[in-house]
Amino acid sequence: MVAACSYGLISPEVCAVSEPPPPPVVTPESMLADHLMRRWAPTYVQRVDADDRGRDRPTRIDFDGDWDASNNWDHQARFGTELPPAAYGAAILTATHAYLTYTLYYPRDWSRRFCVPLICHDNDLETVLVVVEREVGGAGRLVAVRTKAHHQTSDTPADQIQRTRDERPLLHVEPEGHGVAVCRRGDPRCAAAPGRIVYTYGEVASSPPAKALGQTVAYELVSLRDTLWARRSLANCGLWAWGETGPLHYQGREGRLGWRMGASLAGRRYIGGVRPPWAIKGARGARGDWFLDPAGPGERYVYNPFLDDLRDECVGAACAPAPSEPSLLRRWTSLGANGLAAWIDMVL
């Protein structure tokens, strides 16, 4: 059994082989959402450590051909710099705005000096939210970019954001820990230079480069809903660990919606609380609102397939009640204990 089960984080009896999701239903709203998601996909200036050996290259969670996240730390070494470049995208629409979520995935959050639990962790997800004002018949107008890196949330208005020639927001990504931040005008960290790779959206992904020489590389934009979201069930044991807060029982402004779902990626080497977009806790609202209800109270969605999926599962009293979220001290104690146990088992 994978580490997420063997360390007591998810009961083995709930584990199942991950099945491919059914094909998505295409509607005019979904086509518009997909168009806007691709039109505004950011360009990332990825700083690459001189000894990265592929560890600073965003890719698919299933880069190794399976949906077992607990083996990705080890499998990354086998691929090295040959990881296929990719990012995950999702779109939610109101009548006036598009809320576009983009997530980078790395098999390792690592440190060049040394790795121990809570400093390094298996898997890494880095998410940003791009807000666009919709225009009839047009691509819209960039309003703001919201980032969350290392527990810090930041909203940057459009007039302070550096853009590419086709007006996409420009972001920079640190090596090792992969925190994402907005490029402001004149920021030297955002120039193409040796030791960096400029990742930009492309219809077809580029071949991954062996060295970071400041070159531009096209990444594949993968539908979050059709991949990771479709496998959010805890039955996908290789994907999910119990984590420091347990599964997510989403409780937003409509009350409880949906079955409990994975909120921390599974790991084997260095266990950590690596959260998918729907388990992020923002500056306001409940855990999950940052992604699932980005427009906030008083707004109505014309396209939000994620809330629709949860409503199809259960609503209100038909859902299991949401437990109280543990205190920060209890969360860190739990995470540290599980991480230490996994690390000792690995060393011995």
161-209 residue pLDDT tens = 999 999 999 999 999 999 999 999 889 999 999 999 999 999 999 999 9
pTM beyond 0.85: yes
Task: Say what the pLDDT of residue 22 is.
Answer: 74
Which pLDDT band holds residue 137 (cuts at 50, 70, 90)? confident
218-255 residue pLDDT tens = 999 999 999 999 999 999 989 999 887 889 999 999 99
pLDDT at residue 10 greater than cutoff 60:
no
Per the CB < 8 A criterion, the answer to whether 250 and 258 are in contact is yes
pLDDT at residue 331 greater than cutoff 60:
no
**CA nearest 307: which of 320, 294, 317?**
294
109-126 residue pLDDT tens = 999 888 888 789 999 999
Written as one string, the DSSP assignment of 41-105 is: PPEEEEE--TT-TTTT----TTTTSSS-GGGHHHHHHHHGGGPPPEEEEEEEEESSEEEEEEEEE
State the average pLDDT for the chain. 89
Q: Which of 43-47, 92-96, 244-248, 290-294 has the lowest mean pLDDT?
A: 244-248
Which pLDDT band holds residue 277 (cuts at 50, 70, 90)? very high
Return the higher-pLDDT residue of 275 and 25: 275
**CA nearest 5: which of 65, 64, 69, 61?**
69
The Cα–Cα gap between 37 and 311 comes to: 23
Q: Which range has highest mean pLDDT (6-20, 36-50, 331-345)?
A: 36-50
**What whole-number percentage of the chain has pLDDT above 90?**
74
Task: Say what the pLDDT of residue 272 is.
Answer: 77
